[in-house]
Homo-oligomer: A and B are copies of this chain.
Amino acid sequence: MTAAHTDSFLDLCRAALGPQNVLTDPADKAPYLTDWRRRYTGDALAVLRPGSTEEVAAVMRACHAHRLAVVPQGGNTGLCGGATPVGADAGRNTVVLSLQRMNRVRQVDPLNNTITVEAGVILQQLQDVAQQHGRLFPLSLAAEGSCTIGGNLSTNAGGTAVLRYGNTRELCLGLEVVNARGEVWEGLRGLRKDNTGYDLRDLFIGAEGTLGIITAAVMKLFPAPRARVTALAAVQSPRAALALLAIAQSHASAMLTGFELMSAMCLELVTKHFPQLRYPFDAPHPQLVLLELSDSESEAHARGIFEKMMEAAFEAGVVSDAVVAESVQQSRDFWNLREHIPLAQVEEGKNIKHDIAVPISRVADFIETTDSLLQDAYPGARMVTFGHLGDGNLHYNVSPPAGVDHEHFLQHQDAINLIVHNSVHAHHGSISAEHGLGQLKVEENQRYKSMVEMTMMRAIKHALDPQGLMNPGKVV
């Protein structure tokens, strides 16, 4: 782009957004150009901060006219570099479009159980507003204090309540989107049933900003449960944990809102680095399962369900020990054990992470097979395996053998990824369960997707973004 061309573009943007929302100074731009985990740094001609749908549309029209690439960004908490510009020319031909200023809650409709929010609303704020109306917005994940609902939608975020409420996709009824040409698609429907054409909503959800920019959404709310009670159950193996899952679902059905697996190694790391967190059993067990019930009746009722469930599990020889939280605080303590696993890993030193899913019935096979392949290749490698077993989603992380330097072990990352992802593929699984592809897994994804699928994806990309301006280098 010539200097005159650049100037005319920036002038357009300054007129549309106000000069204070067109960042061109390197220091101002910097926070938007590196991802949260500091694995990717890109460049951009400018960071644009529109405050309304009309401003997003104006910016997109300007980008379209000047053939500038656009990288949409929410809370910049993504784990795959999806919100960071790619390419040596990005400093000349790319802008970052931050949705953070679009942070209004447009409407709460308790009777329709919906909330209409702009893309920049922080997830936690959305949860809070729902709660103020006696409702639950169930999406919950580690970054909820800073991630935005627009980013959650664009990556179809998962989290801990998918078992009952589904991914972000299942929580969304309607979208407002600015497309690559700067036109506004007003699809903000709050309908439970609507069959009047192609499902554009679900096409934009999970597209990581490569097809258009989500500017607002109608999200589902649920009646707030009267009680939430958790329990920890000790089991011998992932296979036993799966047997417990079937028993739990039969007894609790939709009341079962959490089912998390944690290997002994995970708890060893947590109690090592966070000694204030108490391991609730006398002796270590090979695997723990955290179960959560959400009850529309009462805490006592939830405890009654847990009692019958655990009785059945003991009788079936599935569980070796179990403890039901006696208080809200103890429920929180149990979740704390689970939520400190990623933090304990940081303390321990870098490991090689995988965010994978397989059919629930294959989780045990997957872990056994893959553990054994890795032990053959890297004897003594330590498996930090945990995750949302109720969804078949594991954070299957590989730590070096005891005594081996963590940084040094990272040299095996590609080889280990290959072993793990080949095994995932053999078990009919997904190499990106809840984090998306971003730039991290674009190439790897093509190893496992069929040509037919890639060709259809690219045809859709070309149909909606013929100039290839929307978040290039991501997803397809």
Interface residues of A (CB under 8 A from B): 109-114, 155-156, 158, 162-164, 166-167, 169-170, 179, 183-187, 189-200, 202-203, 205-207, 211, 222-223, 225, 242, 245-246, 249-255, 294, 296-297, 305, 357-362, 388, 390-393, 428-437, 441, 445, 448-450, 452-453, 456-457, 459-464, 475-476
Q: How many copies does the complex hold?
A: 2
* Residue in B closest to A159 when the chains form the complex, CB atoms: B193
Give bound CA distance, A358 to B196, whole Å. Answer: 13
In angstroms, Cα B455 to Cα A179, docked, is 11
> Out of B191, B296, B457, which one reaches A198, CB within 8 Å?
B457
Q: Nearest Cβ in chain B — how far from A147, in angstroms? A: 15
**Is B207 touching A250 in the complex (CB atoms < 8 A)?**
no
- Report yes or no: A449 in contact with B358, Cβ–Cβ below 8 A: no
Contact B194 A430 (CB under 8 A): yes
Q: Are A453 and B185 in contact (CB under 8 A)?
A: yes
A453 proximity list for chain B (CB < 8 A): 185, 187, 197, 200
Which 10 residue pairs are nearest across A and B when measured between Cβ atoms?
A254-B254, A111-B361, A253-B296, A463-B463, A202-B202, A194-B430, A193-B433, A192-B391, A459-B463, A112-B361
Interface contact B460-A196, CB-CB below 8 Å: no
Question: In whole angstroms, what is the CA distance A200 to B358 when docked?
Answer: 19
Shortest distance between the CB of A301 and any CB in chain B (Å): 9
Q: Given A111-B242, A199-B169, A200-B457 in contact, is the A193-B392 Cβ separation under 8 Å?
A: yes
A155 touches B195 (CB 8 A): yes
Q: In the docked arrangement, what's the CA distance between A435 and B398, Å?
A: 49
A195 and B452 within 8 A (CB): no
Task: Tell me the smallest distance from the CB of A20 to a CB of chain B, in Å.
Answer: 30
